[in-house]
Structure formats: C-alpha cells, structure tokens
Structure 1
C-alpha cells in the first residue's frame, strides 16, 4: 500500500517521453524510502498532444494524494496541466521550458530567444554552433559512459510534432508552490537564459547545481538531495 503520509515524486520526462530517463533518480529516491514514479508519455503518437500527456501523468498518479511533480525540459508544459487535476503539493521544474499563456511549444523557441542563447553559450565555450543537433554534445556531455550505454541500448524515443502545434491552454501558472532547479552547465538551456526567463514568467529565482541538461542521468544523488531539501 502507498504510504499516504509521505509525498510521491512523479517524474515527467521531456521530449521523447521516455521514462528510462529517470531510472537512476528513481533508484536513488527509492533507496531513501521515497515513492517515485517515472511516467512514460505517448510521444510517438501523432494523435497525442499536451492534453494526452497530462492524461498519462494523471493515470500514473492514480489515487495517490500527496504529489511532488518533477518536470524535465518540455515537461514544463505538461506539469501545470496536471496541477489542475491532481493533488499536487509542489512542482519542481528541472532544466525546464516555462510556457506563457497561449504559447505553443513550437513558438516557445523563438519567443524566448533560446537559439541565440544556446549559440552564444557555445561560442563562450569555444564550441561551433549552427550545425546539426548532436545529443552527445548538447545533452550527454557530462553523463558517465556506462550510463550512456544503458540509455542507448533502449529503443530511441520518437517525438511527434503534434504537441508543439497547439497553444498552452492555461491563463496563468497554477497556484501551486513551484521551484526551479537548473544545471549550471546546461548547453541547451543556458543558466543565464533560464534565470531571465524564469524571472519574467514565474517571478521566482533559479536554484542551480552542477551538471548539464540531463541531471537525473548525470548526477542522481545530488539531484535527490535537492529534491529532499525542497520537502523541508
């Protein structure tokens, strides 16, 4: 039986929707006696948009009644929709996209200036920019080799374009306590870019920790420490 006196961490992945992304963090949290659920999203389904992503998260929550939503990257568009339908006590945005009312995920990139911010950060590190996207460079640069092997042994997730097309339907961010945790070495969503965006759109400060875009894979212990800290 679920211990209803203890919060459940419900982990929402980013683009691709793979629950495998969270496997190291789930193990770390469960070793600490926490209930942790990694949600798989129907990302390859062309009929599924943000509403269906929220459906998948709500289904995974079931009858649990103390929820901490942890939303990675594109999961920032889904987590607020879940808050409308489930007993969420806290949202933790993790290297996440923060939507504005009426903005689609497809519009978010140019609206926020992400391409220019990522290019400027690449230049500051002496890396080329403007070429084809390379996940090993952008996402996995600080993920241990043995973890990369596990992740790439799985069928690589596909991401339909459907959820990028429709506007985010909420008029404002839900009235739920929200924290934002950012990897200071994220090459995809650079720290200074996120500080500006989160301040403008949520009016809160960004907490930071070492690591790139995939903190749950690269630094699960430190990430679990941070999540435990938010509970107190």
Structure 2
C-alpha cells in the first residue's frame, strides 16, 4: 500500500507500482482526501484501511506527510511491516502543523527543493499529481500514545533537500530508535530512481 505526501495524488508512485508488479507483487496506490476540509488524519487512515480490504501480508509504505497516516493504519489492521520513505515521524500528541518547529526543521519548501534531482520531464510529470491540501489534518494532535508494534523501516534519501539526510538521521534515531537504510536520491526518488527504490522496498 503506497501512501503519498501532502497535497499530492498517489499517482506519483506509479513507476514504483509498475516495478513491484513486474516483480510479482500486488502494489496499490492510495490517494488521500487532501482537498476535503472535513477530512482529518482519521479519514486519511480510513482511506488506506478501505483500500487494504481483505488483503493479507500487507506492507504499508508512506512518503513525506504520509508518515502521519501510516502508523494509524498499522494500529487498526494487521500488517507485516511499515516502511517510511523520507517521511515525517510524529510524536504522541503532536499536531502535524507543530512538527516543523518541534523537530527544528528549517528547510525551504519551494519546488526547487522539493523536486531536486528530477529531470525537466520528470518534474513536469510530478506536477501533474499536485493537489490542494486542506489545513484540517494539520491542526489536531496525532492520536496514538506510542508507536504501533509493527516492524518499521526508514529509508533516508542522501540527496533530499526538503528533508535533508542529516536531519532525518537524527530524527529517526530520537523518535524511532532504529538504524535507517539509505539510498541516493532526492525527495521524489520514486520518480527519479523507481527501479532502485522498488528493489530496496523488497
């Protein structure tokens, strides 16, 4: 189950889906109701749980802001593993809107930072998946009292300018207490290095 970040349709995972399916796996894109002002994190998790349906042996993969949704899913349905790809890591009771100041994140969010490493053609493709993002899910505290008891892996992207590698290494250590896996690539690595990312996910 492939979960996108904020203000994006999950279609930007499309090349990774093709790679995973080519390797014999069921890969599912899950778009979240990012433009719906009535939808908060609970509704985001609902969308993923509904997409999972009766599937078993599920691996939940989340990118960027999807890190606030994936653990909620893992707390509600049985999953084999959660993989976070340069994703936000929430703390209990932390509202997504507070995450930036709480973690000391100081990187600019302009498109050149977000889309670094993409070719002009890849960037044009990525921009097709941009959507509006409601402020509703940013305002409420993350509801879990602790991280769900599910095997968790984190992929740090060495060339990410939006969530820089050094910043993410520190956050993974302090909030998850695990050693991340690393690969080359910018924040939208699923579009620039889809085959490499798919192999790493497996």
Shorter chain as normaliser: what TM range?
Answer: over 0.9
Q: What is the SS of the residue equivalent to 2:15? A: helix
CA distance in 1, matches of 2:190, 2:20: 11
CA distance in 2, matches of 1:149, 1:99: 31
- Mark the structure with the bigger radius of gyration: 1
Residues 52-103 of structure 1 deviation map (CA, whole Å, 9 limit, x = unaligned): 0000000111110111010001111100100122221100000000000000
Task: Indicate yes or no: 2:190 matched with 1:216.
Answer: yes
CA distance in 2, matches of 1:221, 1:109: 31
The number of residues matched between the two structures is: 202
Residue among 110, 117, 120 paired with 1:134: 110
Correspondence for 2:98: 107
Unaligned runs of 5+ in 1: 1-9, 119-128
Question: Segments of 4+ in structure 1 off by > 6 A?
Answer: none
CA shift for structure 1 position 155: 6.1
Correspondence for 2:171: 197
Q: What is the SS of the residue equivalent to 2:33? A: coil
TM-score norm. by structure 2 comes to 0.96
Unaligned runs of 5+ in 2: none
1:66-215 matched pairs, under 5 angstroms:
66-115=57-106, 118=107, 133-135=109-111, 137-152=112-127, 154=128, 156-215=130-189
CA shift for structure 1 position 146: 2.5
CA distance in 2, matches of 1:156, 1:78: 19
CA distance in 2, matches of 1:196, 1:90: 22
Distance 1:91 1:208, change over 3 A: same
RMSD, aligned α-carbons: 1.2
CA distance in 2, matches of 1:47, 1:58: 18
CA shift for structure 1 position 156: 3.0
